[in-house]
Structure formats: C-alpha cells, structure tokens
C-alpha cells in the first residue's frame, strides 16, 4: 500500500511540475530548466504510466493528443454568444468611447483593463468541476465547431485546475495563435513537402485548429492566451476583471503579461503608444489593443448593442500593409555584386509613410509568391526595414507580365553569373562596377565599422563618381584640394572631414575586419575572427581548416574569407590602409575569462549600442539572456523580466546612476 501511494504521489508531482514547465516554455518563453532535464521528467512519467496504466490521469501531459481521427467537426451552440468588439480606428474614436463611458457612469477617469489584441482565432473553453471539458470555435458567434481535441494539444492550457474560488462550471474565452518564428518554420516544412503554405500566422492557426487529425494540430505549435469570460454573474468572488485574471494566472492559466490596469485618458493613450512600439519586437502578431471596463458591476449598467458589448473596444493599430500595383521592376546592384529585383509601385501610404518601392529579394521569392508586373500586391512595412511584398491579390489580376531576370549588370553592363543554386544573379566586375565600389566604401565608414563621422553616403557617391577615390584606402590619402572639387563644401567642413578620417585610424581589430566587407562576414563573425586570430598577420595567413573550426564560421563563409585574401587587390588595399597609419587594437582578454553582461531597458544618457561597444572593448561579453552564469546586469528604465530574473539569480546589478563609476574604471 505504502509503495503504491509513493508511486501515485510521485506521479502526480511529475504531472504538476511538467505542466508548470509547459506553461513557462510555451506561453512565457522563459524555460527554467533545460530541454534534457525536461525530457528526463517526461520519460519518468511515461515509464510510470507504462508500468501502471490504471494510474493514468486526464491531466497528464501524455494525454493531450487524441488518436481519434475525426470525419467532421460537430457543431455546438454557445451558451452565451461570442460577440465581436466594436472598433476604434483612430485616436478620436477611442477618446469618444472613453468619454462616453465616463458620462454614462457619472465618473471621471473610469478604470480600464487593457491588453494586446492577439491576431489569431477566438475559442470558448468550458471547465466543469475543475476539469477541462470542451472547446468551441467562435463560428458565427452563436454556433461554433467542437475543437475539444485540438485545443487540448495546446500544452500550456491546464487540464485540471484548483477551482476553489471559481464556479463549478464556467466558460473562458481566448485566442489561439502561432508565433511568427514557428509560422516561418512550419511554412518551410510545408514547402519541402510540396504542401500548400499559409499566407499569415492567423490563417495557419485557424487551419491548424481545424485539422481533423489531432496529431497534425499537435505538430503545429499552437499557443493560447485567455482574455475573457462568457458571463460575470457566477464569479461571485471577484469584482474586477484584473483580480479574476490575476487569479487565473496564479492557478496556471496562460495569461498575457503585457496587460495593464489604467485610469484616465492619458494613461490609456500612452499605453497604446508604448505597445505600438513594442509590437514589432513581440514574438507573435498583435493588431491592436483591447480596453475593457475593469469593474464587473458596471458591465451590467452599460449593457450591449445588438452586436457588441458597450464596455469594451478594440483599438486597432495603423495598418502596416496596403494594396498597390507593380508598375515595373528594376534591378539593384549590392555591395558584393548581388542583383536584387525591386518593385516600382504605384505610390501608396502605409501607416503614414509613402512607399513607392519594395524589395522582391530574389527570383526564387518572385516565383514562390507568383509575382508579376502589373499585379496588385499587399505591401508590408515594418520599422526601418525596406518594405516588401507579402502576397498577390489574385482576384484583381488582369494582363500581367512575367518578371525576366537581366542578363547584364544594369550598372556596368558586364555579363551576370548565376549563383546560390541559381536563385541569385551576380555582377563579378567588383573593381569597376560603380555601385559595388560606392557601397563597399559606405560599408567601410559605417558606425559599426571604421565609424568615420560626418561623411555621408552622398559624399562617398560624389567622391567615387568624380573618380577621386575608388577603394577604401584612398580615403586616407584625401587632401583639402580633393574635397574642394566637391559641390558646396566649405573650408571649415573640410577640416572636420579630414580630422574625422584621421581620428578613425585607431580601431578595434574586429571592427577593421568587419569594415573590409568580406562577403557574409557580419559583426559577430568579425568578432569571432578577431578573437581567434590575435593579429592581422595571422588572419592574412589563415587556412580553411582553421576557419571552419571557429564556432561562428561555416564552410561558405570560410571559403569567402579565403578567396577574399587570395585576391591581390584586396591585399594591396589592406597594405595601403596599414601604411596610411591605421592602428589596430586587440582585445585584452581570452574568451574564457570574459565577464558576461546583459543590458536591459533604456538609458537617459547612453545609447545601448555605445554601451555594448565600451563594455566589449574592455573585455566583457554581451549576452541577450540572463542565466545563472551572468556576471552583471546593466539596468535602465523599464527593465522588464530580465531584472526579476537577475534578482532571483543574485546577479550583480548596475543601475544607470552607478554606470559612470563602472565606466570610469575602464580608463
């Protein structure tokens, strides 16, 4: 008996622990144990179930994938209709809505609960007696489809809950979605299998929740956030949405961490502002924010329109996508000679910015998305990234023309070479092709490279087109009279240019390597090379085998490096650079001794990129995630979860006001 109880206790404990880790991993993306530790627990659980099948509990993570293939989805009525929310498209719409709430409640600054509006598929989930009971899609709001099996595959959704302070039966609403990263990966897998791809994460989530085979749904990495309840009457222990959802969070439901209680129009609007910026860096897509009155009592007095509740609104972000037409396609020559097709568009406004061009990336992208000249296309813009084309609107297609790859370089007319398994075209006339010369020098002076301040891209183009310079080392032989040949340049500016060229001469080895512009050698490969080869001479003599042994360098990059240094014109450029007085500085520490540091939040007096540079130059290794071995957290305003983690690990924390002291130690 005692032994049986021991096994049972261990079994229940394992279920509890694994379910908790599933929530941390699948919802909050913050695993606290390694994959192998997790696998270990899971194996132990399965072993117990194999030995004692009678013990198997509904709440066990092994029970999530049903084996039963469905013929079709049963329909189910919603006990309470799943209404949609009314929308605010502009700030004025939102302000009107908020003012009306205040007037109707005879109050100033009514308290709201706000959170992101997830771009997925709405579901209603029922719990009975502390157990997951069933799940239904929204459908038309009154009747949906039974997706109980597939929703069960969402690993962060608890199958058993502590319902002490909750009603015996209740309905909770949530949004099923897929991370942007998983969307890309799953589409890639589908492409390899020659199956139909999905056009965006929402379609993929919807398509996956409606799979008749639960095993397919299980493979789709569906995620879920819960955000509402069907009715408030039965939740007698809770007066506010925020209290109830804090409780839901405490008992293990997946609840979004960005939610906020706000009061007053200013708080509401600045939260919108903040989340609009946050949006791009989030792992999943959100298309706006949902604001709801926080107090349940007020729900009743406010009531409903025929379509939606009057106590909530969806305030949508400005669309970052617009429909336009491709007028023609031009070809651009990149720094290393790669030809990029560019769509010239009928100008269109996207989220307040006028867009007339979008990159088409390469010819495999063009054929994959089936893009033609004259097609109507959805153009997407995100942050500072060049706009690109998301998809074609096939219903508007009339007479279209195929996009033909050029045979010759649009700039220097030399015959192009097909590379990278035939998807890309390249101009190999590197030394004479003007855009390649311009861009390699522009790359050389950039902040992350030699950091020559004050000289802009336009000036480089002018210097190249007037044949004053033709490679990077020529910058260091420039004289006053050279600059006088340029349009509209004053004496005082010339002095500044010359002094800024001069002061760039002392440079970290890794930045110098990056500045050389070797194909596919980015900042991190350059750093790895600088660490591996502690002098320029050693780097120049590197062998292929040495290179592929470096963790950041693959065979393709290694080949690029070898052929770069084989080219005598590159060697003569490097020789000229060094003889013009460039002085390389090498790191003080070995990688093993580097102190690891994480930077979080924003700073009033420092740029994060500058901070990283200073720290790296002084022997710190910058990392993005806090772990037990992190030596230091540099913490700015609005630090987020990293600060909490650092506190829990006992990591040393330096706040902005103490930063000056730390930086002073470096001199």
What are the residue numbers of the active site? 117
Determine contact, residues 448/523, Cβ cutoff 8 Å: yes
Which residue lies nearer to Zn ion by CB, 26 or 426?
A: 426
- Quote the DSSP letter at residue 554: -
β-bridge mates for residue 623, sequence order: 598
Alpha carbon of residue 144 to chain centroid: 32
- Quote the DSSP letter at residue 62: G
CB of 436 to Zn ion, least distance (A): 6
Determine contact, residues 224/64, Cβ cutoff 8 Å: no
Cβ neighbours of residue 429 closer than 8 Å, sequence gap 6 or more:
337, 409, 412, 414, 436
- CB-side neighbour CA atoms (13 Å) of 97: 24
Alpha-carbon distance of 174 to 159, in angstroms, equals 15
Alpha-carbon distance of 258 to 264, in angstroms, equals 18
Which residue lies nearer to Zn ion by CB, 411 or 473?
A: 411
CB of 411 to Zn ion, least distance (A): 5
- Quote the DSSP letter at residue 637: B
Site size for Zn ion, by CB under 5 A? 6
Alpha carbon of residue 317 to chain centroid: 17
CB of 209 to Zn ion, least distance (A): 50
β-bridge mates for residue 315, sequence order: 88, 289
CB of 426 to Zn ion, least distance (A): 9
- Between strands 583-585 and 595-600, the pairing is unpaired
Helices (H), 504-607: 509-515, 523-532, 536-540, 544-548, 555-566, 568-579
Which residue lies nearer to Zn ion by CB, 429 or 630?
A: 429
Which residue lies nearer to Zn ion by CB, 137 or 429?
A: 429
Which residue lies nearer to Zn ion by CB, 429 or 504?
A: 429
Alpha-carbon distance of 276 to 286, in angstroms, equals 9
Interacting residues with Zn ion between 120 and 149 (CB under 5 A): none
Alpha-carbon distance of 122 to 224, in angstroms, equals 10
CB of 463 to Zn ion, least distance (A): 19
Which residue lies nearer to Zn ion by CB, 207 or 410?
A: 410
Interacting residues with Zn ion between 399 and 458 (CB under 5 A): 409, 411-412, 427, 429, 433
Query: Does 617 contact Zn ion by CB under 5 A?
Result: no
- Between strands 121-128 and 169-177, the pairing is antiparallel
Tokens encoding 430: 């590197």
Which residue lies nearer to Zn ion by CB, 130 or 334?
A: 334
- CB-side neighbour CA atoms (13 Å) of 454: 14
Letter string b/e over residues 641-663, b meaning 16 or more CB atoms within 10 A of that residue's CB: ebbebbeeeebebbebeebeeee
Residue 45: count of CB within 10 angstroms of its CB: 20
CB of 434 to Zn ion, least distance (A): 8
Residue 294: count of CB within 10 angstroms of its CB: 20
Interacting residues with Zn ion between 521 and 560 (CB under 5 A): none
Tokens encoding 115: 């959170």
Which residue lies nearer to Zn ion by CB, 426 or 645?
A: 426
Alpha-carbon distance of 558 to 550, in angstroms, equals 10
CB of 462 to Zn ion, least distance (A): 20
CB of 364 to Zn ion, least distance (A): 22
CB of 408 to Zn ion, least distance (A): 8
CB of 571 to Zn ion, least distance (A): 22
Residue 464: C-alpha distances to residues 433, 457, 482, 494, 536 (Å) = 11, 11, 12, 17, 28
Tokens encoding 42: 């899971």
Interacting residues with Zn ion between 201 and 230 (CB under 5 A): none
Tokens encoding 359: 């990159």
Which residue lies nearer to Zn ion by CB, 339 or 494?
A: 339
Which residue lies nearer to Zn ion by CB, 385 or 415?
A: 415
Alpha-carbon distance of 246 to 350, in angstroms, equals 37
- CB-side neighbour CA atoms (13 Å) of 283: 14
> Which residues sit at the interface with Zn ion, rule CB under 5 A?
409, 411-412, 427, 429, 433
């Amino acid at each position: 008996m005692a032994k049986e109880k021991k096994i049972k206790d261990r079994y229940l404990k394992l279920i509890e622990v694994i379910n908790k880790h599933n929530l941390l991993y699948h919802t909050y993306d913050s695993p606290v144990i390694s994959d192998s530790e997790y696998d270990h627990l899971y194996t132990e659980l399965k072993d117990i179930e194999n030995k004692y099948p009678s013990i198997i509990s509904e709440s066990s993570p092994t029970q999530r994938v049903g084996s039963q293939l469905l013929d079709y989805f049963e329909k189910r009525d919603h006990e309470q209709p799943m209404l949609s929310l009314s929308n605010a498209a502009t700030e004025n719409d939102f302000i009107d809505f908020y003012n009306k709430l205040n007037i109707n409640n005879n109050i100033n600054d009514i308290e709201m609960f706000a959170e992101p509006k997830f771009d997925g598929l709405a579901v209603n989930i029922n719990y009975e007696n502390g157990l997951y009971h069933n799940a239904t899609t929204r459908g038309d709001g009154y009747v949906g489809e039974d997706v109980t099996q597939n929703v069960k595959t969402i690993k962060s959704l608890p199958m058993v809950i502590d319902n002490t302070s909750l009603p015996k039966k209740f309905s909770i609403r949530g949004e099923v979605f897929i991370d942007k990263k998983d969307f890309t990966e799953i589409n890639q897998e589908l492409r390899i299998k020659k199956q139909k791809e999905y056009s965006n994460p929402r379609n993929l989530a919807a398509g996956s929740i409606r799979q008749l085979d639960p095993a397919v749904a299980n493979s789709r990495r569906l995620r879920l956030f819960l955000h509402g309840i069907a009715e408030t009457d039965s939740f007698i222990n809770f007066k506010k949405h925020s209290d109830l959802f804090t409780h839901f969070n405490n008992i293990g439901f997946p609840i979004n961490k960005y939610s906020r209680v706000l009061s007053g129009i200013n708080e509401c609007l600045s939260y919108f502002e903040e989340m609009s910026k946050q949006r791009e860096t989030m792992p999943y897509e959100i298309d706006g924010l949902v604001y709801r009155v926080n107090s349940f009592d007020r729900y009743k007095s406010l009531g409903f329109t025929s379509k939606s509740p009057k106590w909530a609104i969806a305030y949508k972000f400005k669309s970052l996508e617009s429909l336009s037409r491709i007028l023609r396609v031009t070809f651009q020559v990149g720094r290393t000679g790669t030809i990029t097709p560019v769509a010239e568009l009928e100008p269109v406004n996207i989220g307040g910015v006028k867009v007339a061009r979008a990159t088409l990336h390469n010819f495999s992208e063009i054929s994959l998305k089936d893009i033609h000249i004259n097609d109507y296309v959805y153009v997407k813009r995100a942050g500072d990234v060049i706009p690109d084309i998301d998809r074609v609107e096939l219903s508007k297609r009339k007479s279209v023309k195929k996009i033909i790859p050029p045979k010759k370089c649009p700039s220097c007319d030399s015959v192009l070479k097909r590379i990278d398994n035939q998807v890309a075209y390249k101009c190999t006339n590197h030394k004479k092709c003007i855009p390649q010369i311009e861009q390699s020098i522009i790359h050389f002076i950039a902040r992350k490279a030699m950091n020559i301040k004050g000289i802009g891209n336009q000036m480089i183009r002018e210097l190249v087109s007037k044949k004053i310079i033709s490679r990077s080392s020529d910058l260091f032989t420039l004289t006053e009279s050279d600059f006088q040949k340029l349009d509209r340049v004053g004496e005082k500016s010339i002095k500044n240019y010359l002094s800024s060229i001069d002061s760039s001469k002392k440079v970290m080895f890794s930045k110098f390597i990056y500045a050389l512009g070797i194909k596919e050698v980015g900042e991190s490969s350059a750093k790895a090379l600088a660490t591996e080869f502690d002098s320029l001479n050693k780097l120049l003599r590197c062998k292929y085998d040495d290179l592929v042994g470096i963790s950041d360098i693959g065979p393709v990059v290694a080949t690029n490096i070898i052929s770069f240094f084989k080219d005598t014109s590159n060697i003569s450029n490097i020789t000229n650079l060094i003889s013009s007085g460039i002085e390389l500085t090498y790191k003080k520490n070995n990688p093993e001794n580097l102190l690891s540091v994480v930077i979080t939040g924003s700073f009033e007096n420092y740029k994060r990129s500058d901070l990283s540079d200073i720290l790296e130059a002084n022997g710190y290794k910058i990392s993005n995630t806090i772990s037990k071995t992190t030596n230091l957290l540099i913490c700015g305003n609005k630090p987020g979860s990293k600060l909490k983690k650092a506190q829990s690990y006992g990591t040393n924390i330096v706040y902005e006001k103490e930063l000056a002291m730390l930086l002073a130690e470096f001199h």
